[in-house]
Amino acid sequence: MKPKRTEDQVLAPTHWVDGHPTLGEITDDIAHPMEARPGKGWWICFGIALAALLNLGGMVTWLIANGIGVWGLNNSVGWAFDITNFVFWIGIGHAGTLISAILLLFRQKWRTSINRSAEAMTIFAVMCAGLFPAIHMGRPWDAFFIFPYFPNQRGPLWVNFRSPLVWDVVAISTYGTISLVFWFLGLIPDLATLRDRATGKIKKFIFGLLSFGWNGSHRTWARYEIASLVLAGLATPLVLSVHSIVSMDFATSLLPGWHTTIFPPYFVAGAIYSGFGMVLTLLIITRQTMHLQRYITVRHLDKMAKVLVLTGSIVSYAYATEFFSAWYTGNMYERYHFINRATGPYAWCFYLMVLCNVITPHLLWTKKARMNAWFLFAVSILVNIGMWFERFVIIVVSLHRAFLPSGWGMFYPTAIDIGVLVGSFGLFFTMFLLFIRFLPMIAMWEIKGVVGHGAHKMALTTDDDDDDDDGGQGQGEREVVNA
């Protein structure tokens, strides 16, 4: 015999949503931003983002017309802002898959409020990331050469499948595709909800087209959940592989500062750290401007802040290991690189990185700090800055003083370098702002599952099978029962 549930335990599953909204209220609340006229805040943000995006278009056109000499690249530093931005954006994307796939497998209920927007963020970040390898080629119109294709018009010469750069192309394309499919699959039931409440003809048509005739059949739901689980299972090793492969772009070279085996886990931890930083930045603004504090509560922010502390600590440990290994190897080039990193002309970048990535996360050890949205917002901005500089330090500082002093040089960004970086933020934010305006930024059906399951348990105090069958729903309940 199981003990009877007390009222507190019964209410536990609604822990992640404030108040006790009914299912209909959840639909109304989440659909509201799409049905109401956007506020001033949205228009201002959108205006700025769109301007930056247009700027990106101009800059890239200029770049392609004139060649990559318009960037500050030179013989010593052949990769700079381009690849820094690429790694930065790919890293940002990792939080979305982590939240939607890994936390799904770990049955973390708090993901339900934030997974949709985090996944969207992933897709937009991968778009930004994909831009850079394409435009950093001397002849971007030949970018398709990186894919093997039939008929092979390069003679029988194929791409070099032993090269991490080719692995990278495949990994990023796969990651982008699977993320997009996973995200769209999650959207289908919500698109059906929107279709059925749409009043305008155009909206009804578009949502009808995209919702694939979804009618809420439980036989479909059962298959749908299995498919989601399978995709989550596939996406989990995928997300770990993607940044590992990105790190191998560097690690398989012989350059001091790059040639190290710690890179894959170090990059993955850094990616999750920066991704959660960006999720926090976006969600803190969005919950405020879209009035969704009821669903994205400070308790969600608290959880994400804890991930920042964990991954920030891993990243700090990796920084320390790099220095230790450089000293321990006794290799003069390796040693010099790390002395140069901390005392050379780019030392300020290094210290800024340490400040943002090593010191900042430790401000989040107290619950008070983690529950303060605006404090967290400031921290998240620092995390974004720190992680951009981490990639800059790894790439530019390693390249600018490699082996022979005669081959040393400096990199100074040009206006085009900075313009393209700012422009990529324009692309990212334009997409994100359009997303929160036209699509449900919180997964309605998943929130309903969390809330509805609570109501279900409340009524069925003698229910005998729900604990075994509740699948992804059990965790939050247990948490509170133990508390």
Partner 1 sequence: MTTTTEGRDKEKERWSMPKNLIVATFSRPATLMHAVHAVTKENFRIYDVYAPYPVHGLDAAMGIRHSRLPWVTFIVGLCGLTLALTFQFYTSVLDWPLNVGGKPDNSTLAFIPISFELTVLLGGLATVAALFFRARLYPGKKAVLIADGVTNDIFAIALRIRETSFDGWRLKEILKQSGASDVHEQEAEL
Residues 234-273 that bind partner 1 (CB under 8 A): 234-235, 237-238, 241, 245, 248
Among 36, 404, 469, 482, binds partner 1 (CB under 8 A): 469
Residue pair 239/94 in contact by the 8 Å Cβ criterion: yes
Site string for partner 1, 416-445 (x = CB under 8 A): ----------------------------xx
Closest-CA residue to 399 (of 248, 267, 257): 257
Among 6, 66, 217, 343, binds partner 1 (CB under 8 A): 217
Sites for partner 1 among residues 393-412 (CB under 8 A): none
Q: Least Å distance between CB 328 and partner 1?
A: 27
Q: Least Å distance between CB 215 and partner 1?
A: 5
Among 181, 339, 410, 415, binds partner 1 (CB under 8 A): 181
CB-based burial, 231-260: b 16+ in 10 Å, e otherwise? bbeebbebbbbbbbbbbbbbbeeebbbbbb
**Among 82-90, 148-156, 309-317, 335-343, the segment contacting partner 1 (CB under 8 A):** 148-156
For 428-479, the DSSP string reads: HHHHHHHHHHHS-SS-HHHHHHHHHHHHHHHH-TT-SSHHHH-GGGHHHHHH
Q: Least Å distance between CB 192 and partner 1?
A: 5
Residue 404: CB atoms within 10 A of its CB come to 8
Contacts of 209 (CB under 8 A, 6+ apart): none
Which of 195/341 has CB closer to partner 1? Answer: 195
Residue pair 424/93 in contact by the 8 Å Cβ criterion: no
Question: According to the binding rule CB under 8 A, does residue 227 interact with partner 1?
Answer: yes
- Inter-axis angle of helices 263-289 and 373-392, nearest 10: 140
Which of 48/166 has CB closer to partner 1? Answer: 166
Among 5, 16, 17, 27, binds partner 1 (CB under 8 A): 27
Question: According to the binding rule CB under 8 A, does residue 221 interact with partner 1?
Answer: yes
Which of 55/241 has CB closer to partner 1? Answer: 241
Site string for partner 1, 5-24 (x = CB under 8 A): -----------------xxx
Beta-bridge mates of residue 154: 156
Which of 55/163 has CB closer to partner 1? Answer: 163
Which of 143/181 has CB closer to partner 1? Answer: 181
Question: According to the binding rule CB under 8 A, does residue 466 interact with partner 1?
Answer: yes
Question: According to the binding rule CB under 8 A, does residue 149 interact with partner 1?
Answer: no
Q: Which residue has 């990243």 as its token pair?
A: 315
Q: How far is CA 134 from CA 44, 52, 68, 145, 430, in A?
A: 31, 19, 12, 11, 20
**Among 46-54, 219-227, 352-360, 392-400, the segment contacting partner 1 (CB under 8 A):** 219-227
Q: 48: helix, coil or strand? A: helix
Question: According to the binding rule CB under 8 A, does residue 69 interact with partner 1?
Answer: no
Rounded Cα gap, residues 373 and 280, in angstroms: 9
> How many chain residues bind partner 1 (CB under 8 A)?
81
Question: According to the binding rule CB under 8 A, does residue 2 interact with partner 1?
Answer: no
- Inter-axis angle of helices 347-354 and 332-343, nearest 10: 80
